[in-house]
Structure 1
Amino acid sequence: MERRTVIADAAIDVIAESGLRALTHRGIDAALDLPAGSTSYYFRTKSGLLSAVIDRITDFSRVSFAGVSAQLGSDPVDVTVRYLEHLVAERRNQLRARHSLLIDPSIDTEARTRLDGCLFSVDGAVELFGDRAVGEGYVALCEGLVLASLGRRSGHVDVRVPIVTYLTGARKL
């Protein structure tokens, strides 16, 4: 795995486990047992490191969603349920890091906008449903289900019922 990717993954873990204040170049070097200054060589600033975190979460999301879609086809309920279950079960630290960054007041507008779209695509949902309000509502529901899952120790929230309920109601609009 490329060194930049390893560093971004370590940064995600640090943010997820200890918050944004714990994210330092020196801390990443120590966590990865790298020589001092290694993280700074690849990411000169904390902003650059945060950008790498956002890129990594976004890339993971695109690949994961494409994999689920390829495996299950085009049924929005099955694809959404499987994707949400995957997010909560396999990518918990990415979710925790993302939510920590989203609520941190020091994160700039551009980074917050990128974070906002790194798990779910409003434009993709609008295209799927043919309606902006339905697409935005669908993404908001998915975001809420992820957050509810993060708040539970078991990480389990039955996502199928709310997704089916929303989509059934949305189709009647």
Structure 2
Amino acid sequence: MPHAPTDAAPDAATATPLSPRRRTLLDAALHVIADEGLKGLTHRAVDRRAGLPEGSCSAYWRTRNALQAALTEYVAGALLTDVDELTARITQCDGDARKVEETLALFLRWLDQRELLVARLELTMAATRDEELRLLLVDHRSRLVDIVDGIMTAAGKEHGGARAEALVASYDGILLAGLLQPAEGRRDFLIRSLELLSASLTAPDGE
């Protein structure tokens, strides 16, 4: 029995697990955006991609704005979960080299999940013109910066909040550039980029 329809995505802090039907629809929406861009995101397109009867998507999110907000929460939440899991692994690592390896493994997995990254990029661009989406992404980004800040603090790195913010922005840039690399060159590109970033942004001030 499907959940009652809603026009708004749940708050990330209080959200209950998605029903299988909602997850199927949001996964289908990711593929629609990856193939057609955000302009192609319609309820009908999502229904077709999910292989569900017409009207299935609109039963949960009546408007396109509601669908976009739910998808933004879904994408940002998935990325944050991955980062939380990476943080747990990194805290057990000895030395920066191992931490770079763990981050590299996550980035390569993300690049293999092209739909997730492309959807995030499309939604980020839309957020420059949509205040609701902007606020959702700002909230998730601030939590991501807090995670990175905590990692740097635990590692005893001298830094300020601006450095953690710069590190997150740099990771975004590396991922975008990684999407443009040929598949066979992505690993080497990411290794070089992450090692340079680790050396330049986590070194004490003045070095």
TM-score higher than 0.5: yes
Question: What is the rounded CA distance, in whole Å, between the counterparts of 1:110 and 1:122 in structure 2?
Answer: 20
Q: Which amino acid aligns with 1:8?
A: L
The number of residue pairs the alignment matches comes to 172
Identity %, equivalent residues: 28
Conserved 8 A contact 2:75-2:119? no
Identify the residue that residue 133 of structure 1 maps to in structure 2: 162
Is 2:186 the counterpart of 1:156?
Answer: yes
Q: 1:1-173, aligned counterparts within 5 Å?
A: 2-71=20-89, 73-75=91-93, 76-89=99-112, 91-104=113-126, 107-115=129-137, 117=140, 121-129=144-152, 130-154=159-183, 156=186, 158-169=189-200, 170-173=202-205
Structure 1: segments with no counterpart, 5+ residues: none
In the superposition, relative to structure 1, how do residues 163 and 33 fare at CA in structure 2: closer, same or farther (>3 Å)?
A: closer
CA deviation map 1:124-169 (0-9, x unaligned): 2223334212101111110011000112242715223332223323
CA distance in 1 between counterparts of 2:102 and 2:129 reads 31
Q: Distance in 1 between matches of 2:117 and 2:135?
A: 16
CA–CA separation in structure 2 for the residues paired with 1:84 and 1:74: 19
Q: Is the partner of 2:150 in helix, strand or coil?
A: helix
The one-letter code of the counterpart of 1:127 is G
Give the TM-score, by structure 2 length. Answer: 0.71
Q: Which stretches of structure 1, 4 residues or longer, exceed 3 Å deviation after superposition?
A: 66-76, 104-107, 115-118
RMSD: 2.6
8 Å Cα contact 1:101/1:107 also seen in 2: no
